Chains A and B, each alone.
Chain A
Amino acid sequence: MTTSTGEAIQFWVLGIVAVLGALGTVGMRKAVHSALCLAGTMIVLAVFYLAQGAYFLGIVQIVVYTGAVMMLFLFVVMLVGITAADSLKETIRGQRAAAVLCGIGFGILLIAGIANASLHRFTGLAQANAGGNVEGLARLVFTTYVWAFEITGALLITAAVGAMVLTHRERTERPATQREQSEARVREGRNVTPLPAPGVFARHNAVDVPGLLPDGTPSELTVNQTLRARGQVRDVGGEQERRVRKLEQRSDEYVEGVTEGEGAPEGGRDRSGDNDGANHAEGAAK
C-alpha cells in the first residue's frame, strides 16, 4: 500500500503547520501565544492520526490534549498573568548556536536514517483495525499490555499525591470565624464593612480594572489581592479620569451658573487633582 496523493497533500500542508506551531511554541515571548501554538500543533497531529486510521488516538488527542491539558495550561497562564512575557535574550555564550547545531544535526540524522529505511510501502493497517479501531485497541490494552496499563495507575496516584504535596497548604491554626473577623474590623476601625465585591463601583468588567470611588479615585480594594500583589492593577488613567473630571467641571459650571458668585465647593476638584497625580506616580513605580 502506498500513500495516496490526497494524503500526501494533506501531510505536506499540515506538516508545515505543525512544524511552525512547534517553532512558535518555543519562540514566542508570551506564554499564552506559546500555549496556543502548541494547541495548534496538537490539533494538526490529531488530524494526522485520524488520517492514518488511528481514530481513537486522534479523538483522544483532541479531547484530552487540546481540550483538557492545553486548557489547563491556559488557565495557569491566565492566572500567572497574561501580560507576563519572557525575555528571549540568551545569556549563555554559544548556547543558541550549539542548540541549533545539535538540533539540526540530530534532525538530519533522523531524516537521513529513516528516509533510508525505504518505507515506501506499508501494510497491516487493515488487520489492525479489522475488528474496529477501538475494539482492537481495547483488546491490546486489556490483554497484552494489561500490566503496563495497570501500573499506569501508580503513576496517576503519584501525580495526585505529588500535586497535593507541592500545592496543598494545610491550615496550621483554626480559621477565624465570621464573627471574629467582623470584630477585628471594628477594632481596627478601617473598612468596617466587608471589602467591596467586584463590580460594586465597576465602570468596566475586567477584573484588573479598579472601581472608582465617588470622587473618581480608583479603589484598589476592589481588585483581587493576587493581582494587587503582582502589581497588575490596570491604570485607570486616561479616558475614565477625564470623563469624571469633565463631569465635575460641568456640574461646577452648572452650580456656578445657578448660584452666580456664591462660593463654589472647591474641595472635590482639588482632591481629585491630587489623587490623579499620586496615582500616576504609583503607576510609574509599578
Chain B
Amino acid sequence: MDPLIGALVGAPLLGAGILLVGGRRLDRTGHWIGCLWAAVSFVIGVVLFADLLSRSPAQRTLTSHLFTWVPVAGFQADVGFQLDQLSMTFVLLITGVGTLIHIYSVGYMEHDENRRKFFGYLNLFLAAMLLLVLADNYLLLYVGWEGVGLASYLLIGFWQHKPSAATAAKKAFLVNRVGDMGLSIAIMVMFTTFGSFAFRPVFAHVGDVSQGRLTTIGLLLLLAACGKSAQVPLQSWLGDAMEGPTPVSALIHAATMVTAGVYLVVRSGAIFNAAPTAQLAVCVVGAVTLVFGAIVGCAKDDIKKALAGSTMSQIGYMMLAAGLGPIGYVFAIMHLVTHGFFKAGLFLGAGSVMHGMNDEVDMRRFGALRTYMPVTFVTFGLGYLAIIGFPGLSGYWSKDKIIEAAFAKGGTEGWTLGAVALVGAGITAFYMTRVMLMTFFGDKRWQPDAEGHEPHPHESPKIMTIPMSILAFGSVFAGGLFSINSAFLKWLQPVTGHSDGHSPVATWEITVATLVVLILGVGLAWQSYGRQAVPAVAPRGSLLTRAARRDLLQDDFNHVVLVRGGEHLTRSLVYLDHTVVDGAVNGTAAGVGGLSGRLRRLQNGFVRSYAVSMLGGTAVLVAATLLMRGV
C-alpha cells in the first residue's frame, strides 16, 4: 500500500507535467487529461481509505520513506510521507472536491483559450496540496506549502490581462510571504530546538523543551496559518483573490488551500497543547476573524466577495476550535470538511449564476433568478441552509459543536469565545440570507453590461450542475453522517486526541440559543432585503457598512501603517543602499568585471603565449613544491 501514497501525489503532478509541457497539441484534450489525473488521485485515495478502515484504529498510520536528501551529520532531511486519519480526511476532501471542481471547470472554462494551462495549474495545485497534507516532516510540508502558494498565485492571476487580477495575484503572493516567513523561521527554531523537523521526533520531545521555545514556535506557526488561511491580520488578500476564475475560488480559496492553516495548527497540536499562550492566541485570532469576516460579508455587494468574507469567517470558526485544544481539534476538522462541501457548492453556484449573467458579480443587478436557474437555486439554497446551520444539515452538526466546545473551554475565556461564536452564527445567518435574497428573490434588476448586451439568464450545462448537485448532497448529509454514532470523532481521535471539557451550559441550551440567533439573523435580513425592494445602487449606509465595504478599512490600515511606514523605512534604506551597499556591491561587480577584462587579455589566441604561461606555471608549481620541502 505504501507506494500508493507516493502515487497519490504523483498522479496530479504527472498530469500537471503532461499538460504544461505538452504544449498546444493537448489543447483539445487537455481538460479531460486534467480531470483524469485528479480522478485517479481520488480513486487511489479511496483505496487507501478502505485499507485504513480495514485496520485497527491504532494501526492506521502508514508511512512511506522515499529517500534522504542531503544527509549531513546532525542534519537529516528526509523525504517521506505519512498517511494517518487526519491526512486521509484531507486527501479525500482535496481529491473528491478537487475532482468535482475539475469536471465543473470543463464547462466553466469552455471558452477560455488557455483552458489546458488552467487544468495544468489545477493539477499542480492538487499535487502540492496533497504533498502538504501527506508530508511526514515540516520541511516537506513547507515545500507543499510553497507549492500551493505558487499554484494559487498562478491561478488568481490566470486572467492576467486584467490589471486587477495581476494586482490581486501579486497581493496574495506578498501577504502570503509574510506567513511563509513565519513557517520557515518556525522550522529553523524547531530544528535548533529538537534537532529535527520530522513530526514524530518533534512531537515526542515536546515535553523536554522550555515553554518559551514552544510558545515561539507556536506563534510562528500561527503567523504562517494566518497568512495561508486569511486570518486577521493577514486576511486582506482573500477578497482580492476572487479575481481568479470561480472554480479556483471554490477549490483553493474556499474548500482546500485556505484551510491549510487549520491543518497546520491541528497537526502541530502537540506543540500547541504544551504552549497555552500560543493556543490562546490562536483562539483570539479565530474569534476576531470570525466576526471580522462576517461583518465584511454583510456589506459586500459582489457575490464572490461576500462569500469570501464568509469563508474568512468560517475559517475563523475552525481556528477558534483548533485553538481550544483537544476539545476542539476534531470539530475544527469536521467543520473544515463540511465547509469544504457547502462553500465549494456555494461558490460553484455563484459561478453558475455569473455564467448565466455575462460574468456579472454585483448582487444588486441580480434578483429573481430562481425561476431562470432552478438547479442552481436548489443547490445554492441547500448550501445556504447548511452554512447558516439549519437543523439537520451539515453546518448545524459541525458549527454547533464548535460553539459548544468554545463554551466548554470554561472560565471567562470560554464564555467570551462562546458568545462571540454565537453572535457570529447570527451574523452568518444574516449575510447568507442577504446573498440568497438579493440573488434569487425579489425583482429583476438586470442591466445591460458595458457593451450593451442584455443578460439572458439560463441554467448552466449538465457538466456544471452535476458537480454542484453532488456537493449539495454533501452539504446536506455529510454532517449528519459524521455525527451518527460520533463516527468522525472516533475516526480522528487517535491522531488528534479528544477531551469533552466541562461545559457550564447544557447542550440543549446552546442548541436553542443558536436557533434563536439564527432566526434573528434570518429575520433581520428578510426585513431589510426580502420585504423591501433592493436598490440597484447601493445606499450610502452607516459608518460600519461603509467601513465593511472597504473590508473594514484593512487596506487603508495596511496602507497607512505598513505601506507608508514601509516607504519611509525603504526610502532611508534605499539611501543607505545607494550610498553604502551599492557602492560596495557595484564596486565589487565593477572590480570583478575590470579584473575579468584584464585577465581576458591574457587569452590572446596565440599558442606561444599559452605555452609560455604553461611553462611559467610549471616552473611555479615545481618551485612551490620544492619550497614546501625546503630543499
Main secondary structure of the interface of A (DSSP, over half): helix
B631 and A113 contact, CB distance less than 8 A: yes
A113 and B612 contact, CB distance less than 8 A: no
Q: A105-B619, A106-B618 are in contact. Are A98 and B626 (CB under 8 A)?
A: no
A99 and B622 contact, CB distance less than 8 A: no
- Residues of B within 8 Å of A101, CB to CB, are 616
Nearest B-chain residue to A107, judged by Cβ:
B619
- Residues of A within 8 Å of B626, CB to CB, are 109, 113
Q: A109-B626, A113-B626, A113-B631 are in contact. Are A95 and B619 (CB under 8 A)?
A: no
- Residues of A within 8 Å of B604, CB to CB, are 92
- Residues of B within 8 Å of A116, CB to CB, are 631
Within 8 A of B (CB), among A91-125: 92, 95, 98-99, 101-103, 105-106, 109-110, 113, 116
Among B608, B618, B623, B631, the residue within 8 A (CB) of A99 is: B608
Q: Is B606 an interface residue (CB 8 A)?
A: yes
Report the bound CA distance from A38 to B616 in whole Å: 24
Report the bound CA distance from A81 to B320 in whole Å: 98
Nearest A-chain residue to B619, judged by Cβ:
A106
- Residues of B within 8 Å of A110, CB to CB, are 622
Report the bound CA distance from A95 to B602 in whole Å: 11
- Residues of B within 8 Å of A95, CB to CB, are 606, 608-609, 612
The residue among B604, B606, B618, B619 with the most chain A CB atoms within 10 A of its own CB is B619
Report the bound CA distance from A101 to B613 in whole Å: 11
Report the bound CA distance from A157 to B622 in whole Å: 35
B619 and A92 contact, CB distance less than 8 A: no
User: How far does the Cβ of A116 sit from chain B's closest Cβ, in whole Å?
Assistant: 6
Within 8 A of A (CB), among B252-303: none
Report the bound CA distance from A95 to B619 in whole Å: 17
B616 and A92 contact, CB distance less than 8 A: no
Nearest A-chain residue to B604, judged by Cβ:
A92
Report the bound CA distance from A278 to B626 in whole Å: 69
Q: A98-B616, A106-B622, A109-B623 are in contact. Are A92 and B609 (CB under 8 A)?
A: yes
Q: Is B615 an interface residue (CB 8 A)?
A: yes
Report the bound CA distance from A116 to B631 in whole Å: 9
Q: For the complex, count residues of A whose C-beta is within 8 A of B.
A: 13
Within 8 A of A (CB), among B575-631: 604, 606, 608-609, 612, 615-616, 618-619, 622-623, 626, 631
- Residues of A within 8 Å of B631, CB to CB, are 113, 116
- Residues of B within 8 Å of A113, CB to CB, are 622, 626, 631
Report the bound CA distance from A214 to B62 in whole Å: 109
Report the bound CA distance from A215 to B622 in whole Å: 71
Q: A92-B606, A116-B631 are in contact. Are A99 and B619 (CB under 8 A)?
A: no
Q: For the complex, count residues of B whose C-beta is within 8 A of A.
A: 13
Report the bound CA distance from A105 to B609 in whole Å: 16
Report the bound CA distance from A116 to B622 in whole Å: 14
User: How far does the Cβ of B615 sit from chain A's closest Cβ, in whole Å?
Assistant: 4
A102 and B616 contact, CB distance less than 8 A: yes
User: How far does the Cβ of B601 sit from chain A's closest Cβ, in whole Å?
Assistant: 11
The residue among A95, A98, A102, A103 with the most chain B CB atoms within 10 A of its own CB is A102
User: How far does the Cβ of B243 sit from chain A's closest Cβ, in whole Å?
Assistant: 65
Nearest B-chain residue to A112, judged by Cβ:
B626
Report the bound CA distance from A99 to B616 in whole Å: 8
- Residues of B within 8 Å of A103, CB to CB, are 615
User: How far does the Cβ of B612 sit from chain A's closest Cβ, in whole Å?
Assistant: 5
- Residues of B within 8 Å of A109, CB to CB, are 619, 622-623, 626
Report the bound CA distance from A202 to B4 in whole Å: 95
User: How far does the Cβ of A2 sit from chain B's closest Cβ, in whole Å?
Assistant: 24
Q: A113-B622, A113-B626, A113-B631 are in contact. Are A106 and B608 (CB under 8 A)?
A: no
Nearest A-chain residue to B620, judged by Cβ:
A105
Q: A92-B606, A109-B626 are in contact. Are A98 and B612 (CB under 8 A)?
A: yes
B615 and A106 contact, CB distance less than 8 A: yes
- Residues of A within 8 Å of B608, CB to CB, are 92, 95, 99
Report the bound CA distance from A123 to B616 in whole Å: 34
User: How far does the Cβ of B176 sit from chain A's closest Cβ, in whole Å?
Assistant: 60
Within 8 A of B (CB), among A205-261: none
- Residues of B within 8 Å of A98, CB to CB, are 612, 616
Report the bound CA distance from A232 to B475 in whole Å: 102
Report the bound CA distance from A99 to B609 in whole Å: 8
- Residues of A within 8 Å of B606, CB to CB, are 92, 95
Nearest B-chain residue to A100, judged by Cβ:
B612
- Residues of B within 8 Å of A105, CB to CB, are 616, 619, 623
**CB-CB contacts of B403-447 with A at 8 A, as 1s and 0s?**
000000000000000000000000000000000000000000000
User: How far does the Cβ of A185 sit from chain B's closest Cβ, in whole Å?
Assistant: 47
- Residues of A within 8 Å of B615, CB to CB, are 99, 102-103, 106
User: How far does the Cβ of A94 sit from chain B's closest Cβ, in whole Å?
Assistant: 9
Nearest B-chain residue to A99, judged by Cβ:
B612
- Residues of B within 8 Å of A102, CB to CB, are 612, 615-616, 619
- Residues of B within 8 Å of A99, CB to CB, are 608, 612, 615
Report the bound CA distance from A105 to B619 in whole Å: 7
Report the bound CA distance from A49 to B609 in whole Å: 33
User: How far does the Cβ of B250 sit from chain A's closest Cβ, in whole Å?
Assistant: 67
Report the bound CA distance from A95 to B615 in whole Å: 13
Report the bound CA distance from A223 to B302 in whole Å: 99
User: How far does the Cβ of A26 sit from chain B's closest Cβ, in whole Å?
Assistant: 11
Nearest B-chain residue to A108, judged by Cβ:
B619
Report the bound CA distance from A110 to B615 in whole Å: 12
- Residues of A within 8 Å of B618, CB to CB, are 106
- Residues of A within 8 Å of B609, CB to CB, are 92, 95
Report the bound CA distance from A92 to B606 in whole Å: 9
Nearest A-chain residue to B618, judged by Cβ:
A106
User: How far does the Cβ of A279 sit from chain B's closest Cβ, in whole Å?
Assistant: 40
- Residues of A within 8 Å of B616, CB to CB, are 98, 101-102, 105-106
User: How far does the Cβ of B351 sit from chain A's closest Cβ, in whole Å?
Assistant: 69
Nearest B-chain residue to A117, judged by Cβ:
B631
Report the bound CA distance from A109 to B606 in whole Å: 26
Nearest A-chain residue to B617, judged by Cβ:
A102
Within 8 A of B (CB), among A109-157: 109-110, 113, 116
A-B contact pairs, 9 of them (CB 8 A): A92-B606, A95-B606, A98-B616, A102-B612, A105-B616, A106-B616, A109-B622, A109-B626, A113-B631
Given contacts A102-B615, A106-B622, A110-B622, 12 further A-B contacts (CB under 8 A): A92-B604, A95-B606, A95-B608, A98-B612, A98-B616, A99-B608, A99-B615, A101-B616, A102-B612, A103-B615, A113-B626, A116-B631
4 A-B pairs with the lowest CB-CB distances in the bound complex, closest first: A106-B619, A102-B616, A102-B615, A99-B612
